[in-house]
Amino acid sequence: MKFFYILLTVTLIVPLSAAQTIIFADDFEGSIRPEWFNYLSGFRAISILSQHGNFAAFTDQRNRYLSYDVGLQAQDLTFEGWFRDTPAANPFEFSAGISALDSQAIVAVGVETLADSSHYLYRLDGLNWVSTNIDRTLGWHLWQIYVGVDSLGLLIDGQAVYEQNTGNESARFFSMHSDGESSQNPGFPYFFDNVKLYEGRPVPEPATFCILGLGVLAFFQRRK
């Protein structure tokens, strides 16, 4: 009977994780895909501190960005990837977000130590950062930005930090930025990895599926 519960759990959970229709993805293994607009060639693939695999996108220059043009007004898409945080770095600014322009991340999540050096933040207007209750920690963190026809969602490490029931019609460019003034170069190292753009709402990471699966299994066992 236990085998039946496990099989049922896998049957329920695995299709959810496999449902993504990938529009664009880059794991930066060996190089940065040419579809990115790499401002001033500031980013390069480097074989240290990768989130997964052997390479990550890296820059130690401020005011550099990677931008991908989806080519149309985005609807029902999730932009996700990983950033590496170094809480000891100050000042430290980076963002991942969406915009109508390739040089900006109007709607974004990230870090701005001058606004709040202890927590991750988000912004909706390209200017004003809003603090979340998620503490900054050393290591890799997942961002997910969902742009729907009638909704917008921002998540950090699987936690929703902002949601609204109206879409963002200006979402055409998806980008990662090492923010700050060029006059401050060189900056602290910035790392991004395993970036992808896919149809639909954010899909939980495998660890979340495992927790969900255990919950389903426990539920059925309690009913025995």
Task: Encode pLDDT of 50-90 as tens digits.
Answer: 998 899 999 999 889 999 999 876 788 999 999 999 888 77
pLDDT tens digits, 96-108: 999 887 777 899 9
Separation between Cα atoms, residue 44 and residue 57, nearest integer Å: 6
Q: What would the two tokens of residue 84 be?
A: 């590496």
> Could you tell me if 77 and 68 are in contact, meaning their C-beta atoms sit under 8 angstroms apart?
no
What DSSP designation does 91 have? S
Torsion over CA of 62, 96, 107 and 24, rounded to 10 degrees? 130
Separation between Cα atoms, residue 150 and residue 169, nearest integer Å: 9
Q: What would the two tokens of residue 24 be?
A: 């664009």
> Could you tell me if 61 and 180 are in contact, meaning their C-beta atoms sit under 8 angstroms apart?
no
Whole-number pLDDT of residue 71: 84
**Strand partners for 95:** 110, 177
Q: Using CA of residue 122, residue 128, residue 133, residue 138, what is the dihedral sign?
A: positive
Confidence class of residue 176 from pLDDT cuts 50, 70 and 90? Answer: very high
> Could you tell me if 50 and 177 are in contact, meaning their C-beta atoms sit under 8 angstroms apart?
no
**Strand partners for 132:** none
Global pTM exceeds 0.85: no
